[in-house]
Each structure stands twice: as structure tokens, then as C-alpha cells.
Amino acid sequence: MTVRLRQSVFVPPPLYVVADQRGFLAEAGVEVETTLTRSSDQQRAQLVAGDCDLAVTAIDNLIVWNATGASIRLLAQVERTTPLHLLGRKGFDTITALRGAELGVDAVDNGFAIVLRHLLRSHGLTSDDYTLTPVGGVRERYDALLAGAIAATLLGPPLDELARGQGLPVLLAIGDELPDYPGQGLVAGPAGLASAEAISTYLACLDRARHWLTTAEPAQAVDVLIRGGYTELSARASLRSAPDSLTPAAAGLRRLYAIRAELAMVPPGAPVVDELFEPAPLTSAVSP
């Protein structure tokens, strides 16, 4: 019997690529229709409307999404951390140079924009010192940076490597500054949560991919990711962010709330940290 799931992503995560390329999904009878999203706002709308079952997104998004009435839950953490870099366009090669500049983000009040605000604050810039402009998903932000429409933006594999190849400067790396910052999560809306058995089967495939990554020779793992569309450099960076477990790290989830509290950006009605994660599908999928 084949089960079908619809998944929205910015970039296909390594665990999904491995599960697909190694045939784990096919063996389990899982078909995943994966589409690239233009923004986290689009992901929220799709999940709420039931137009997609799952999304791979910044876990912080759930804090805002659910504060505004959505019922979206975190099912698994598919990266230990997200290997994001803040890249500037030519002429913006220091944090100080961003004073008065326009920075591209997906959305100004959720997701990676929150950690960007935090990092800039830790380097001496307040929110009055720059402007955050919604540009769209990672591809749209990359294009805007190359076109000179924005001064800087956060990019992850493989687009951060492509930007570096264009000679654009790296201003900071989230992994260096916040090693406990959680990577992207697999989340579900009501339509996805209603497909509990299908989701558990999919999670089992992702966990099988996670285990394969921990035991495979690095060159073999890189080759699989390259076949799935990664560059060699981005594949190697992604391997360093492979999770030890699909269970979300409690310290990472607390870090999201601590950053928001520091910025006075915990929205009214936000779920508490213990309400983000729905453990049942993962518990059913992965033996203790």
C-alpha cells in the first residue's frame, strides 16, 4: 500500500534527500510530493488550509503561527542546527557597515529574522540601525543579494556557497555564535496530523536516513547528496549538521524563547515551549 504526503520546503533537507536517493521511501511505500515554497507565510497558509501536509521550516515560526490561531505542531528536528551564514553584498563586509542598510528576510517577525535581530544586537546594532525587508524564500533573497537590492541576508546550503563563489563576504555564522540554535523542523498542520500512520512511516524513513548518515563513509554520503541536488561544499556542510536524533533538543527550543524574551518579541497568545512538539508520531516511528 502506498501512502502519499505533500511537503513544503525551502531547500530539500539532507535526511529527505538520503531517504529518497537510497530508496528508503520507496521500500516503505511512501510517496512525498515536495514543493519549494516562496515564504514562511505561504507555508503557514498551506498548512492551515490543508493544501500541504508537512513543511520543513524554522521552528521559531510555530511560536508566531500558533499565537495567531494556527494548530501546527513540531514532529521532528531534521537538522542539529541550520548552517546559516550572514552574507553581505560587495562593499558591506563588516557588521558595522550594515548600519542604515536594508537587510533581506523571509518575514520580519518570525523564523530566522529573529535570530538575525539577536545576532546584530550582540554585535552592537539595534533595530533602529537597519531595516528588515521581506524578500521571500532563500532563492529570492539570494537573487536580491546578487542584484544589489539588499545589503545582506542569511543564506544556507547550497546558496551560501554559491554566494561565496561570487565573492560576497561572510559577516557571521550562526553555528559559531549560537551552537545550540536548533535546526529546521518537520511540522504538520491539521491535515497532516490526521494522517498519523503515514507520517509515522515517513518519520521512520527519515530516521533510517539519519542512521545511514552516521555510519556511511563521508565520501559516499556526499555523493548521495550531490545526486540529490547539493553542491559538494554544501553537502559537506550539511553533514556536519546531521542530527543525533529526530527528537527536538529541549535546550534548542528553550533558546528560541530566550532570544524572543531578550528582544521583547514573545507574541501574546504564544504557545509555551512544551506545546510545540507533538511526540506521538515520532514515538510510533522510532523504537526507543
Question: At 288, is the pLDDT very low, low, confident or very high (cuts 50, 70, 90)?
Answer: low
Question: At 287, is the pLDDT very low, low, confident or very high (cuts 50, 70, 90)?
Answer: low
Its sign, for the CA torsion 212, 218, 220, 222, is positive
* Cα gap 111→260, rounded to integer Å: 11
Backbone conformation region of residue 148, classed left if phi is above 0, alpha if psi is from -120 to 50, else beta: left
Closest CA to 67 of 279, 269, 282: 269
Looking at the chain, the whole-number percentage of residues with pLDDT higher than 70 is 99
> How confident is the model over 238-273, as pLDDT tens digits?
888 899 999 999 999 999 999 999 999 999 999 999
> How confident is the model over 65-90, as pLDDT tens digits?
999 889 999 999 999 988 899 999 99
Question: At 38, is the pLDDT very low, low, confident or very high (cuts 50, 70, 90)?
Answer: confident
pLDDT of residue 45 exceeding 80: yes
CA distances, 31 to each of 24, 211, 286 (Å): 11, 21, 19
pTM: 0.91
* pLDDT attached to residue 107: 87
Sorted by sequence, the CB contacts under 8 Å of residue 247 that are 6+ apart come out as 76, 77, 279, 282
